[in-house]
Amino acid sequence: MPGAINNYLNSLARRLHLDPQREREILEELQAHIEDKAAELQAQGLDREAALACAVEEMGAPRTLASRMYAVHSTGVWRDVGLAVLPHFLLAALFALHLWSHYFLVSLVLVGIAFVTWRNWRAGRPSKWSYTWMGYTLAAPAISWLLSLIALGYGGWTLLTTGQLPFNAAFFLLMAGYVPFSMWIVFNVVSKIAKRDWLLVSLTALPFPFLTSWVLFLNWSGGLWSDHAERMQQSDTARACIFLALAVTTAVFLKVGPRLLRIGLLAVITSILIVITALSLPVDLGFVAVGLMILASVAFLLSPAVLDAQANRRSRLGVASRPDSAGEGGGWHSDTP
């Protein structure tokens, strides 16, 4: 393929952020359109190179075209939307019915979500609805990693100040090994999602701030079986509403097209729900604490954008450092992140 088409389609592919099969179909259609237009211009008297350059120029800037293509082709069908919001509804039901303290039932729900996620991802072509399921599947290792890190910090501080561990040494070593293992699992899965679109990582991580805040407060109150567990149920209605709001947010996210709207939706809804979460807790948090929670949560959800920008920069530098592929041997790559 001539270098002009090759470079244009590669630049476009880096910005589409669509399903790989759909990207391939779009790029093949655009390639055929450019070549047909170049053939018309050649028939009017232009030479091959000039005709290709004009045909590519008429397509417009890759960023603008990719944005239009994304807005049209990224919206999910209602079946995908319904499946995507189902985990949020399950969590909302657990809180609304005060069932979160039933350890066996919660375990069954989490195992069921993990199993559905595994079956979908094993097929090799994850559906749009699977990313919310993946979020709850990753919540277990991510939150347990955080709790293990807190326990390790507490154990290390106690060892330094008193000379003794507050719990069994074998348990301490087990947690020390579990922390990097759980981080490795989460990092590998997140990396695979980010290769398709960093916004899907943000959608996957959407419930994390609310699950984490609830688990940390429950742990601070004495744990699942403490006397404070009943007092924690006073905020169950607010928690159920939060997960219902996450379901609505997910549905809107999948149905709207423009990326800026999706980014704004995640940032605004997360900020509002953090305020609701803070108000629902049986403790008085100040404005500064709530503001820091909002800032940390929004930064966490949008942090994949930084990683994506760095990856794209490295990709562009790598392309620039390679010899020009203007000959016929090059070709666009539909799997470019």
Cα–Cα distance measured from residue 81 to residue 101, given in angstroms and rounded to the nearest whole number: 29
Give per-residue pLDDT as tens, 78-110.
888 899 999 999 999 998 988 887 878 888 888
CA angle 24-265-279, nearest 5°? 145
Handedness of CA 68, 69, 73, 74 (dihedral sign): negative
The pLDDT score that the predictor gives to residue 251 is 93
Q: Please count the other Cβ atoms lying within 10 Å of the Cβ belonging to residue 69.
A: 21
Sign of CA dihedral 208, 209, 213, 214: negative
The pLDDT value given to residue 98? 84
Confidence of residue 122 (pLDDT cuts 50, 70, 90): confident
Q: How many residues does the chain have?
A: 337
Indicate whether 311 pLDDT > 80.
no
Phi, psi of 224 (to 5 degrees): -65, -35
Quote the percentage of the chain above a pLDDT of 70: 81
pLDDT average, residue stretch 32-44 = 83
- The half-sphere exposure of 249 on its side-chain side, counting CA atoms within 13 A, is 27
Cβ partners under 8 Å of residue 189, min gap 6: 134, 138
> At CA 303, angle to CA 63 and CA 144, rounded to 5?
140
pLDDT, averaged across the chain: 78
The CB-side HSE value for 143 (13 A sphere, CA atoms) comes to: 20
Predicted confidence at residue 223, as pLDDT, reads 55
Closest CA to 5 of 43, 38, 45, 46: 38
If phi > 0 it is left, if psi is from -120 to 50 it is alpha, else beta; for residue 46 that is beta
Nearby residues of 146 by Cβ (< 8 Å), 6 or more positions away = 212, 216
CB 147 within 8 A of CB 153: no
* pLDDT at res. 91: 92
Per the CB < 8 A criterion, the answer to whether 263 and 298 are in contact is: no
Over range 314-320, report the average pLDDT: 54
Long-range contacts of 212-219 (CB under 8 A, 24+ apart): 212/142, 212/143, 212/146, 213/277, 213/281, 213/293, 214/239, 214/277, 215/143, 215/147, 216/146, 217/281, 217/283, 219/147, 219/150
Q: Which one is predicted more confidently, 19 or 292?
A: 292
DSSP 8-state secondary structure symbol assigned to residue 76 = P
The whole-angstrom separation of Cα 74 and Cα 77 is 10
Q: What is the pLDDT of residue 38?
A: 82
> Mean pLDDT: which of 120-129, 228-237, 315-324 is highest?
120-129
Give how far Cα 60 sits from Cα of 12, 89, 295, Å: 11, 43, 37
* 8-20: average pLDDT: 76
Give the pLDDT band (50/70/90) at residue 328: very low
For the stretch 153-201, pLDDT in tens is 878 888 888 877 777 777 778 877 877 877 887 788 777 777 778 888 8
CA distance from start to end of the chain: 21
Query: Residue 308 has what pLDDT?
Result: 64
CA–CA dist 219, 324 (Å, integer): 58
Q: What's the gap between Cα 87 and its chain centre?
A: 15
Cα angle 185, 277, 220 (rounded to 5 degrees) comes to 65
Identify whether the C-beta of residue 317 lies closer than 8 Å to the C-beta of residue 6. no
CB 334 within 8 A of CB 24: yes
Rounded distance between C-alpha atoms, residue 77 and residue 128, angstroms: 9
